[in-house]
Amino acid sequence: MTSLPEYIGNLTKLKKLFIDKNDLESLPDSIGNLHNLETLEVDHNRLKTLPESIGNLRSLQYLTLNHNYLTILPDSVGDLTNLKTFKLNSNFLKNLPKSFQNLTKLKYLYMKDNPHLKEISKSLGDGHCIIYK
């Protein structure tokens, strides 16, 4: 599977979505309509970017994007204010958006094997988040 249909956004009562080990190159903008989504796993795909609408997932607590081709995250990830666990291992991230400091409920951030990541915002190291890198 290389893409999700736009109508995925019609599943507004969905709480968990597991779409690991596919060949997804992108997520549809309609993913942002899943306002009740608490868990999103998109590991082992071919994602290079995320849609800005990802920030609309205000109920999201667990997001895992391991083993993709992400180089940048949209600023809207800072709107995921209920996020507790964020896994970004084995990507190609160059930096994190400044909006990351808005993730005040974030407890665990996994960022191993991101060879181009130069620095992590000092605001993440203030004791509210455990960073695995």
Which residues, 6 or more positions from 122, have their beta carbon under 8 angstroms from its beta carbon?
none
Dist. CA 122–CA 92, nearest whole Å: 20
Domain spans of the chain?
6-132
pLDDT of residue 118: 78
Q: Give domain 6-132's CATH number out of 3.30.70.270, 3.40.309.10, 3.80.10.10, 3.30.360.10.
A: 3.80.10.10
Looking at residue 133, what is its pLDDT? 64
Q: What's the predicted TM-score (pTM) here?
A: 0.92
pLDDT of residue 127: 55
Q: What is the mean pLDDT of each run of 10 residues along the chain (133 residues)?
A: 95 98 97 99 98 98 99 97 97 92 93 86 60 71
- Kind of pairing, strands 130-132 and 108-110? parallel
Query: Phi, psi (5° rounding) for residue 54?
Result: -60, -30
- Nearest to residue 76, comparing CAs of 29, 121, 116? 29
